[in-house]
Amino acid sequence: MPKQRAKRTHAQWSASATARNWLCPGNLALAFDIVAPPESKPAAWGTACHEVAERLLKLDVPVDIGDEIETDRHIFYIDQEMLDCANVYFDYIHSRMTEGFDLHAVEQKFDLADLGLPMEIGGTADCVLYSPVEKGLEIVDLKTGKGKMVEATNNAQGRLYALGVLVSLNLKSMPVKWVQTTIVQPRLPHRDGIIRSETLHVSELMDWTIDLDVKVRDAADALMSYATAKGNTVVMDEWAETFLEPGEEQCTFGPAAGGCPALRKRALEIAGEDEGTFKSNVFAINSIEAVEADLDMLEHLESWVRDRRALAHEMASRGMKFDHWTLVEKIGHRKFVGKDTGEIVTSIRDRIPLSDEQLFDRKLKSPAGIEREIGRHAVEEHLGDIIIRPVTGTDLIRNSNAERTPALSVADRLFQEN
């Protein structure tokens, strides 16, 4: 079938940026002023998976393995992993429909224009369910990431979805007593399961809306004053101090991170400018407390360097010229030219008679490779008892990151063995 193009548009304050804007009022102003980062492959994969999920729910376009989906910068071919991810979402929604919920909308766009807020706010809710018996509204949000857990409780994005859908309804014909926001994140384990929810009485959501109003007005103030502030170093420093609040939640994946003056200031402090953080070299600096403090600072510094490099690369990609840095081509590994393997083999043998053993490497596919061929469920059902996940080493990660099995130290392992 012909390829489909998957694209999602965003409002001035988009639902997906609610957590960032909530925690950092100046985020929006910076994001509008810097070169936007390119679409990442994981984000594009998520957009493509949402397209698959939408097809499954609407039943108006067939879904077949191998179908091509094009996003802004990437092309994907539907594989078993993408289909499995979308199916977890589809199966949950179908189960809710068997419990008395109506499928009210798929990919429902909304805005909050009627609330009189000083900014355009809107978004697209993945799926909206309604229970006429319980007078309940449920917003189901598919999350395809496998590196960052999304919590359902106190989720500002989910609550904004619920508010946006609620204000779009005719509450006389569809009265609502409670709202539920549900996260479906199939590719990352969570202590509460890959499907988790928060339920609020409508009055609780209205109370939260008062807090939202304050946050939106803070962001609007930051946006209005930014145009003047950025032309004056002293004023800009004051603006950054007032409106920028760096932090893990708002800066991770934030499009403005590479151009944020607060992150830059903190990174330079850590790097040692003006006798910054790394001062002493006495033995005490290698205590557990001191090393952990350095790890916290290095994480920030590495993150800023990565984001800054990404911003510079995107600027150069768009034709902006630096004096000391030049955009060059990345050269990949050598490969043969040809439409397919058969054509390449024929072309090789026309020039030099090589045997199959000289041309091909044959080895057993990995469990992931077989899974791509026959699907995850078939592999788990028939091959699960002969598949293991070997421990290949250790990583040092933050306690707040994805849940992983704690590793034994060398001392712990020696103690066990003895």
- The two three-digit tokens of residue 329, written as one number: 């081509």
In a domain, 251, yes or no: no
Last residue of a domain, one of 162, 188, 217: 217
In a domain, 156, yes or no: yes
| CATH number, residue 68 | 3.90.320
In a domain, 49, yes or no: yes
| Residue 212: per-residue pLDDT | 96
Whether residues 164 and 289 share a domain: the answer is no
Whether residues 283 and 140 share a domain: the answer is no
133 contact partners, CB below 8 Å, separation of at least 6: 100
Question: What's phi and psi for 185, nearest 5 deg?
Answer: -130, 80
- The two three-digit tokens of residue 65, written as one number: 């393995």
Whether residues 48 and 182 share a domain: the answer is yes
| Residue 118: per-residue pLDDT | 92
Q: Which residues of 265-303 are buried (b: 16+ CB within 10 A; e: fewer)?
A: bbbebbeeeeeeeeeeeeeeeeeeeeeeebeebeebbeb
Whether residues 201 and 94 share a domain: the answer is yes
In a domain, 230, yes or no: no
Whether residues 114 and 211 share a domain: the answer is yes
Total number of domains in the chain: 2
In a domain, 413, yes or no: no
The span from the CA of 108 to the CA of 105, in Å, is 6
301 contact partners, CB below 8 Å, separation of at least 6: 267, 270, 271
Query: Which H or E run includes 58?
Result: helix 41-58
| Residue 268: per-residue pLDDT | 80
367 contact partners, CB below 8 Å, separation of at least 6: 379, 383, 387
Burial label, 49 (beta-carbon count in 10 A; 0-12, 13-18, 19+):
buried
In a domain, 383, yes or no: no
- The two three-digit tokens of residue 44, written as one number: 């594009």
| Residue 1: per-residue pLDDT | 46
Last residue of a domain, one of 165, 182, 217: 217
Whether residues 197 and 284 share a domain: the answer is no
Whether residues 195 and 120 share a domain: the answer is yes
The span from the CA of 260 to the CA of 205, in Å, is 32
The span from the CA of 210 to the CA of 337, in Å, is 62
Q: Do 158 and 152 contact (CB within 8 A), yes or no? A: yes
pLDDT in tens, 48-100: 999 999 999 988 778 888 899 999 889 999 998 999 999 999 999 999 999 99
Q: Which of 24, 34, 217 is nearest to 117 (CA)?
A: 217
Last residue of a domain, one of 183, 217, 251: 217
In a domain, 284, yes or no: yes
For 130, the domain range is 4-217
Whether residues 212 and 312 share a domain: the answer is no
| Residue 2: per-residue pLDDT | 45
Q: Would you give the distance in Å from CA 296 to the centre of its chain? A: 22
The span from the CA of 166 to the CA of 198, in Å, is 16
Whether residues 124 and 58 share a domain: the answer is yes
| Residue 266: per-residue pLDDT | 82
Whether residues 24 and 161 share a domain: the answer is yes
Burial label, 13 (beta-carbon count in 10 A; 0-12, 13-18, 19+):
buried
Q: What SS3 state is found at 123? A: strand
In a domain, 205, yes or no: yes
Number of neighbours of residue 259 by Cβ within 10 angstroms: 18
Whether residues 60 and 151 share a domain: the answer is yes
Render each residue's pLDDT in the chain as its tens digit; 418 residues: 445 555 545 578 999 999 999 999 999 999 888 887 888 899 999 999 999 999 999 887 788 888 999 998 899 999 989 999 999 999 999 999 999 999 999 999 999 999 999 999 999 999 999 999 999 999 999 999 988 889 999 999 999 999 999 999 999 999 999 999 999 999 998 889 999 999 999 999 999 999 999 999 999 999 999 988 988 888 988 999 999 998 888 887 778 888 888 888 888 877 765 454 555 555 456 778 878 887 888 887 888 888 888 888 888 888 899 999 998 888 888 888 888 888 999 999 999 988 888 888 878 888 888 887 888 788 888 998 999 888 887 777 777 655 555 655 554 555 555 5
What DSSP letter does each residue of 316-368 carry, written as one string?
HHTT---SS----PPP------SSSHHHHHHHHHHHS---HHHH----PPPHH
Whether residues 52 and 121 share a domain: the answer is yes
Q: Do 10 and 117 contact (CB within 8 A), yes or no? A: no
Q: Running DSSP on this structure, what letter comes out for residue 49? A: H
Give pTM, 2 decimals. Answer: 0.74
